[in-house]
């Protein structure tokens, strides 16, 4: 997931980011407040569900709305309220996708906390029904919650105050984001079940579809569309989003295995224990060391010493170096795109620091 993108990596001066965050939070607070009021006649359970959807939306880093607003402001946009509404729409899409993704992964934890399904599971388990029934009920409510969040992703654009062809274009971008994400999620389910390991290309294309389109390309292009930018600026920002999103994924894969946990705040053994299909593993599968690596991957019970061995073998196989050069390739391409003549200086000022974050080796 993309939740771990550092907020300081997007957009220029800290005060501008803080102002944007305040605006986004205000729009979301207003939205949830209106919607909880609307839910009231349907019963207290429904109000509680909306409180829980709000709780699952709050606490994130507002990454997607921040990206959208950064692009919008850099391109001269000044109707920040409308832009924050469209940004909030992408945040709700994110909520919908992670809530349903957790159902698909049978996951009850998100960011170290009980997720929406877990809140309901625990409540029902307290009534004495079986754990598996309580889990299923929790997941059932999560299905409903995701549907609501998805529905309101479109509705927030409808109600953003943006009209005419610009609104149509924003709805298309939202549609494209959901369409790609569903395709990526489907590929993910397929790979999880397959005996064949996905290739490096498969891993990257799946990650792009599943998260990069709606997290980078969609918000960047939406910000540009809202600002009334030229078509070639919109499409270049989309390509930039693709490169940056890919670079982000590769960096995430690298930190997940070779990261310094005290710096990243993230485990560097979970990906190995889960046997996650990363670019590193996909590359190592082609090496001669694979027969020594494969038996230890995806085994929750391996020791710290075995994890260290695994890490060494992945490095010796050339997989680490390969991933690093791939990361370099995509960040270079992202930098080149920002340097194209149609891209205004202000966009470079906003997004160069973000590329720099991706290439900094805090591992």
* Per CB under 8 A, 98 contacts its own copies: no
CB of 53 to its own copies, least distance (A): 11
Nearer to its own copies, 181 or 331 (CB): 181
Q: Cα 131 from chain centroid?
A: 30
C-alpha–C-alpha distance, residues 189 and 101, integer Å: 10
Contacts of its own copies in 99-138 (CB under 8 A): 100, 103-104, 106, 124, 127, 129, 136-137
Nearer to its own copies, 150 or 314 (CB): 150
Contacts of its own copies in 14-43 (CB under 8 A): 38-39, 42-43
The SS3 assignment for 114 reads: strand
Nearest to 31 by CA among 151, 112, 117, 184: 151
DSSP class of residue 303 equals -
Of the chain, the end-to-end C-alpha distance in Å amounts to 19
C-alpha–C-alpha distance, residues 324 and 238, integer Å: 23
C-alpha–C-alpha distance, residues 228 and 239, integer Å: 18
Lay out the site mask for its own copies across 258-297 (x = CB under 8 A, - = otherwise): ----------------------------------------
Lay out the site mask for its own copies across 68-97 (x = CB under 8 A, - = otherwise): ----------------------------x-
DSSP class of residue 107 equals -
Return contacts of 112-120, CB within 8 angstroms, 24+ apart: 113/59, 115/56, 115/142, 116/52, 116/53, 116/55, 116/56, 116/141, 116/142, 116/145, 117/141, 117/142, 119/52, 120/52
* Per CB under 8 A, 45 contacts its own copies: yes
Lay out the site mask for its own copies across 177-206 (x = CB under 8 A, - = otherwise): -xxx-xx-xxx-xx--x-------------
* Per CB under 8 A, 161 contacts its own copies: no
Nearer to its own copies, 167 or 283 (CB): 167
Interface pick for its own copies out of 59, 143, 336, 340 (rule CB under 8 A): 143
Using CB under 8 A, list all residues that contact its own copies: 38-39, 42-43, 45-46, 49, 96, 100, 103-104, 106, 124, 127, 129, 136-137, 140-141, 143-144, 146-148, 150-151, 154-155, 158, 168, 171, 175, 178-180, 182-183, 185-187, 189-190, 193, 209
């Amino acid at each position: 997931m993309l939740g771990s993108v550092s907020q300081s990596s997007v957009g220029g001066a800290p005060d501008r980011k803080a102002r944007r965050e305040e605006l986004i939070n205000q729009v979301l607070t207003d939205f949830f407040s209106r919607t909880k009021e609307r839910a009231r006649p349907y019963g207290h359970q429904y109000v509680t569900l909306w409180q829980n959807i709000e709780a699952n939306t709050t606490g994130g880093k507002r990454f997607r709305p921040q990206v959208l607003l950064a692009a919008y402001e850099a391109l001269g946009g000044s109707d920040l309220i409308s832009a924050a509404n469209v940004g909030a729409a992408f945040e709700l899409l994110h909520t919908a996708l992670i809530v349903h993704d957790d159902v698909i992964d049978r996951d009850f934890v998100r960011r170290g906390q009980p997720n929406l399904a877990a809140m309901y599971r625990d409540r029902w388990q307290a009534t004495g029904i079986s754990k598996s029934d309580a889990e299923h009920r929790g997941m059932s409510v999560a299905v409903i919650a995701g549907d609501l969040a998805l529905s309101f992703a479109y509705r927030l654009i409808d109600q953003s105050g943006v009209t005419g062809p610009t609104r149509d274009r924003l709805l298309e971008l939202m549609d494209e984001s959901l369409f790609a994400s569903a395709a990526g999620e489907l590929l993910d389910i397929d790979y999880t079940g397959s005996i064949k390991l996905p290739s490096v290309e498969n891993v990257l294309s799946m990650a792009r579809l599943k998260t990069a389109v709606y997290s980078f390309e969609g918000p960047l292009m939406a910000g540009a569309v809202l600002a009334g930018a030229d078509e070639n600026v919109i499409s270049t920002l989309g390509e930039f989003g693709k490169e940056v999103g890919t670079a982000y994924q590769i960096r995430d894969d690298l930190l997940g295995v070779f990261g310094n946990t005290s710096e990243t705040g993230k485990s560097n053994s979970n990906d190995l224990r889960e046997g996650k299909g990363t670019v590193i593993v996909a590359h190592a599968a082609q090496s001669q060391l694979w027969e020594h690596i494969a038996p230890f991957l995806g085994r929750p019970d391996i020791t710290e010493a075995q994890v260290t061995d695994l890490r060494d073998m992945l490095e010796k196989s050339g997989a680490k170096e390969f991933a690093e050069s791939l990361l370099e390739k995509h960040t270079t391409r992202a930098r080149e795109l920002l340097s194209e003549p149609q891209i205004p200086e202000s966009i470079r000022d906003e997004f160069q620091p973000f590329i720099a974050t991706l290439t900094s080796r805090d591992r």
